[in-house]
Amino acid sequence: MSASEDTPTSPGPLVIGAQGSFAAGGTVVITPGVFDPVNPTDPAGQTLHGDHVRVSYQIPADALALPLVLWHGYGVDGTCWDTTPDGREGFRDIFLRRRRAVYILDQPRRGAAAKTTVAAEVTTATMEQMWYTQFRFGVWPGFFPGGQFPADPAAVEQFFRSMVPDTGPIDTEVIVSGVSAAFDRIGPSVMVMHSHAGGFAWLTAIRNRNVKAVIGLEPGSGFVFPEGEVPPPTDSGTGPLAGVPIPVDDFEQLTCIPIVLYYGDNIPTERHEVAGLDNWRVRWQMAGAFVDTINLHGGDAKLVSLPEIGITGNSHFAFADLNNRQIADQLSQFLTEKRLDEGTVSNKPDPRGSDE
Amino acid sequence: MSASEDTPTSPGPLVIGAQGSFAAGGTVVITPGVFDPVNPTDPAGQTLHGDHVRVSYQIPADALALPLVLWHGYGVDGTCWDTTPDGREGFRDIFLRRRRAVYILDQPRRGAAAKTTVAAEVTTATMEQMWYTQFRFGVWPGFFPGGQFPADPAAVEQFFRSMVPDTGPIDTEVIVSGVSAAFDRIGPSVMVMHSHAGGFAWLTAIRNRNVKAVIGLEPGSGFVFPEGEVPPPTDSGTGPLAGVPIPVDDFEQLTCIPIVLYYGDNIPTERHEVAGLDNWRVRWQMAGAFVDTINLHGGDAKLVSLPEIGITGNSHFAFADLNNRQIADQLSQFLTEKRLDEGTVSNKPDPRGSDE
């Protein structure tokens, strides 16, 4: 195992050149008529702005040229990149210390981007033990021996309280167009995406050339393939998983940028009775087919099993696990190998501004 | 008008000693039974954690002893203290530069604290022109002459997109107990609250002695009074406003801390046909009765009309208006007068930790 690039114990202050947040993309609903300020609860002539992305950013004073754009997965918002459940620095701070501007997304209809033009029922189902298990902290109420998720009831509670419901339906076009609008504003950058962002992320990278590389942390759904090259669907304890056919010209956009996918530990290789674990068996398999197909088309994609390179015990939330600095080192090595850490910036983007 | 305490044009980097976020307070729902990982969608034995506050904090390297705790109003979340709608620094950055640790709340069932144990229907009503007018940016679609809200369509769009719906019912005890739990973790600090936080803020300040002062920015509801001293209810274009009776012993907790309330411009003194403006006439009046009652009971409360001291044009969101540094100067003067800017801290709170 490599030593971490920075010291976890007393990291010293962060020197931030600029920070802030803005909304990008989204839609507008208009009720016909004329607004009457004497009867303001009449919707006539009134609007609803929704379906945007919320972007929160920090730019170190000595930032490298290419920012990281961090995109959460299912059931959480941008907060997931922040403090870890046991109170350590998450990827936000770790990469700020490595001179990266960090842009954190809340995808449409989640968290600070919860304002939606189509409502969903807010879930109040009791299902945290399902997520605990599917996120491979362990099989509830246990932890995996040698697991990297902090085995502390207070950390588990903080994790559960970091989750947020969707306020509207998951809509691929709403999400992809919103995030693409964010990349228009952010400019050339590296996408770091987790889990359920997977399929939306590939479609965004195809649509927006500001995405200069994609780092996938256990992408779990929406693997795209050229039409005619989609692998057969597979079945798992959480249901079937099918690849998504797209035109080959679109797919080949993904061959123009470096891509790396990381998967953690305790992913079964044979059918497993625990549904939440078996879920990852087929996703890992399809990630392999996805990477192979990109490379067959002349691309530069890599699939990394963390335990196979000696990094053991990682959950689905490797970026918040006890060894998250070691995981960050892997990303840093990738960024260096692909020459994505060259150049510097000193300017602050206009939070409302037009495209660069 | 006084000059601003810092330079708005090129403020230089922020030096942050620590930053992060945590959940505080909240409730847990448990479905009886035993969790079965083979059938994980069965709710038996599963939990739902919700109704907590989310706290996002930044602590300057040279922080003064007493942090500011910023509590949003209705229809927005903690993002409101961040970048202004037209891309300037908000109160978060302004007070970080003035050596304040800044803790920003998302109240239960809003934004990053959206996880709720009781669902509300997510609104998709078109009602932004109502809010625009009630927040005194102008009477839609106009802006007030000399108004301080940025008269720029892009800024108005950013404002509308900064709004977020509630995911559960507004519940006083849920909110007050959640925010009080946050103050347990934050420690002694100054509450800065806006608008709808009003009534919840007074009850929190009564409950939690870590609240060392309250700065109210146009508190709009829930004015508390000793039982038997509640002024008669008043009516306005947005409906009646009544004071909230509480035991005198509770009320007198508010006489132990300095309190200041600021109200902006374009608040009518006579009944006004525009409902959203008339709304503030009765709130301003009741704020006066509230302050008088505190002082009658031996307290130290002050009501400030910004235009009466020469600061004109402010909307309901004075902390994001064009002159927000001038507004911040008012707060800074209050903090100095009340000796709330003495001492320094260098330690980072344990984000999961127990009470101090």
Chain B hits for A127, Cβ within 8 Å: 40-41, 43, 46, 48
- Answer yes or no: do A21 and B119 touch at CB < 8 A: no
The runs of H, that is alpha helices, within A189-316 are 198-207, 248-251, 275-296
User: What pLDDT is stored for residue B7 in this prediction?
Assistant: 45
Bridge partner residues of B240 (DSSP): B235
Radius of gyration of the CA atoms of chain A, in A: 20
* Measured distance CA(A298)–CA(A194) in Å, rounded: 25
User: What pLDDT is stored for residue A354 in this prediction?
Assistant: 37
Which residues make Cβ contacts (< 8 Å) with residue B7, sequence separation at least 6?
none
Bridge partner residues of B259 (DSSP): B214, B301
Q: Give me the residue from A113, A120, A127 closest to B46, CB to CB.
A: A127
> How remote is the C-alpha of A67 from its chain's centroid?
15
Tell me which of B9, B15, B19, B103 to substitute to probe the interface with A (most A C-beta atoms closer than 10 Å). Answer: B19
User: What pLDDT is stored for residue B356 in this prediction?
Assistant: 36
| Rounded mean pLDDT, B238-263 | 97
Tell me which of A10, A19, A88, A277 to substitute to probe the interface with B (most B C-beta atoms closer than 10 Å). Answer: A19
pLDDT score of B348 more than 80: no
A276-315 pLDDT, tens digit each? 999 999 999 999 999 999 999 999 999 999 999 999 999 9
* Measured distance CA(A323)–CA(B229) in Å, rounded: 59
Burial of A221 (0-12, 13-18, 19+ CB in 10 A): middle
Whether the CB of B155 is below 8 Å from some CB of chain A: the reply is yes
**CATH hierarchy code of domain B16-337:** 3.40.50.1820
* Measured distance CA(B51)–CA(B28) in Å, rounded: 8
User: What pLDDT is stored for residue A111 in this prediction?
Assistant: 98
- Answer yes or no: do B48 and A163 touch at CB < 8 A: no
Supply angle C-alpha A216, A284, A258, rounded to 5. 35
- Closest approach of chain B CAs to the CA of A169, in angstroms? 12
- Closest approach of chain B CAs to the CA of A202, in angstroms? 26
Mean pLDDT of chain B: 94
pLDDT score of B6 more than 60: no
Contact yes or no for B190/B68 (Cβ under 8 A): yes
- Chains A and B form CB pairs within 8 A to the count of 254
- Answer yes or no: do A117 and B124 touch at CB < 8 A: yes
Chain B hits for A280, Cβ within 8 Å: none
Q: How many CA atoms lie within 13 A of A356 on its CB side?
A: 13
Nearest C-alpha in A relative to B62: A13
C-alpha distances in Å from residue A197, one per residue of A176, A192, A209, A216, B140: 10, 10, 18, 9, 38
Q: Pull the structure tokens for residue B221.
A: 């509801």
Contact yes or no for A239/A233 (Cβ under 8 A): no
Chain A hits for B55, Cβ within 8 Å: none
* Measured distance CA(A349)–CA(B129) in Å, rounded: 29
Contact yes or no for B109/B166 (Cβ under 8 A): yes
Burial of A100-139, coded b for 16+ CB within 10 Å and e otherwise, reads bbbbbbbbbbbbbbbbbbbbeebebebbbbbbbbbbbbbb
Domain map (residue ranges) of chain B = 16-337
Residue B10: pLDDT band with limits 50, 70, 90:
low
Whether the CB of A347 is below 8 Å from some CB of chain B: the reply is no
Distance between the two ends of chain B, CA-based, in angstroms?
A: 41
pLDDT score of B76 more than 80: yes
Per DSSP, the three-state class of B33 is coil
Whether the CB of B278 is below 8 Å from some CB of chain A: the reply is no
* Measured distance CA(B86)–CA(A85) in Å, rounded: 34
Per DSSP, the three-state class of A28 is strand
- Answer yes or no: do B112 and A61 touch at CB < 8 A: no
ipTM (interface predicted TM): 0.94
Whether the CB of B10 is below 8 Å from some CB of chain A: the reply is no
Whether the CB of B126 is below 8 Å from some CB of chain A: the reply is yes
pLDDT score of B234 more than 70: yes
- The DSSP secondary-structure symbol of B59 reads E
- Answer yes or no: do B276 and A117 touch at CB < 8 A: no
pLDDT above 90 as % of chain B: 92
State which amino acid sits at residue B290. F
Which residues make Cβ contacts (< 8 Å) with residue A309, sequence separation at least 6?
none
Contact yes or no for B56/B79 (Cβ under 8 A): no
Radius of gyration of the CA atoms of chain B, in A: 20
Nearest C-alpha in B relative to A141: B35
Whether the CB of A268 is below 8 Å from some CB of chain B: the reply is no
Question: Any idea which of A180-189, B10-19, B83-92 has the lowest mean pLDDT?
Answer: B10-19
User: What pLDDT is stored for residue A356 in this prediction?
Assistant: 36
Phi, psi of B130 (to 5 degrees): -60, -50
Ranges of residues in chain A with a pLDDT under 70 are 1-10, 344-356
B209-220 pLDDT, tens digit each? 999 999 999 999
CB atoms within 10 A of CB A292: 13
User: What pLDDT is stored for residue A351 in this prediction?
Assistant: 39
Contact yes or no for B326/B1 (Cβ under 8 A): yes
Strands B53-60 and A102-106: unpaired
User: What pLDDT is stored for residue B342 in this prediction?
Assistant: 79
* Measured distance CA(A302)–CA(A29) in Å, rounded: 42
Supply angle C-alpha A79, A85, A91, rounded to 5. 55
Residue B341: pLDDT band with limits 50, 70, 90:
confident
- The DSSP secondary-structure symbol of B70 reads E
- Answer yes or no: do B122 and A122 touch at CB < 8 A: yes
CA-CA-CA-CA torsion sign (A330, A332, A336, A339)? positive
Q: Which residue has the higher pLDDT, B351 or B304?
A: B304
Q: Pull the structure tokens for residue A51.
A: 């379906």
Which residues make Cβ contacts (< 8 Å) with residue B132, sequence separation at least 6?
B138, B140, B156
Burial of B163 (0-12, 13-18, 19+ CB in 10 A): buried
Chain A hits for B351, Cβ within 8 Å: 83, 87, 158
